[in-house]
Amino acid sequence: METKGISRRTALLAPLLAAAFGAAATSARAQQTEGRALVAYVIRSGNARVIAGALSRQFNARLFEIRTAEPYPEDYEAHVSQARAEQDARATPKLAEHLEDLARFETVFLGSPVWDGTMPAPMRSFLTRHDLTGKTIAPFLTHGGLGTGGLLDTLAELAPAANFLPPFVLECDQERRTLDRLADWRDHAGPQFRF
């Protein structure tokens, strides 16, 4: 993915990383970005929400959670099954709401988990319904151990006229790994359970 706007990238990269690691914002930075920055994000288990909140505070940016009109199942296995079906179909599910005032934002912090090695369908819906031409995009991504997969390529494909900063990428606890470890524990300790 090609990045544009090197001088803007340099000016924004350091504060982005500082925000992601919990550094306090200066009032000058918050005043400088007030009303011109947006944090739009998709969540599955909440990791992106934590990062989004920190970025919103650091840059005095508006928060926008990208949600589908029909919520995903709470159950992990059912959620994964639906997400895979949507990815296979390259679906763009209907969103719960849209941004009517996207034009006023110069910088968009775009947050997403990596689902099965690619972009979640709700993010694909957001990008196909909102024009990010000329915006500076600062991606922040979470994954469960397999990296970003093809998500960044898809992002560049769906927002070809945006200026991209290098992404902030964070490996987070993987629900699948958690469930596997729980099953191992249950299988070893299970005979001791009394009901």
Token pair in block for residue 169? 């990428």
Query: What's the pLDDT at 76?
Result: 86
CA angle 176, 154, 78 (to 5 degrees): 30
Query: What's the pLDDT at 46?
Result: 82
Token pair in block for residue 77? 């296995």
- Name the band, by pLDDT with cuts 50, 70 and 90, for residue 195: low
How does pLDDT run across 80-139, given as a tens digit for each residue? Answer: 899 999 999 999 999 999 998 999 999 999 999 998 889 999 999 999 999 999 999 999
How does pLDDT run across 77-93, given as a tens digit for each residue? Answer: 899 899 999 999 999 99
Phi and psi, residue 44, nearest 5°: -125, -55
- Name the band, by pLDDT with cuts 50, 70 and 90, for residue 179: confident
Query: What's the pLDDT at 89?
Result: 93
Mean pLDDT of the chain: 83
The model carries a pTM of 0.76
Query: What's the pLDDT at 35?
Result: 77
CB 121 within 8 A of CB 92: yes
114 burial (CB, 10 Å; 0-12 / 13-18 / 19+) is buried
Closest Cα partner for 140 from 161, 164, 158, 104?
164
- Name the band, by pLDDT with cuts 50, 70 and 90, for residue 10: very low
Question: In what helix (H) or strand (E) does residue 113 lie, and over which residues does it extend?
Answer: strand 107-113
Mean local confidence (pLDDT), 137-142 = 96
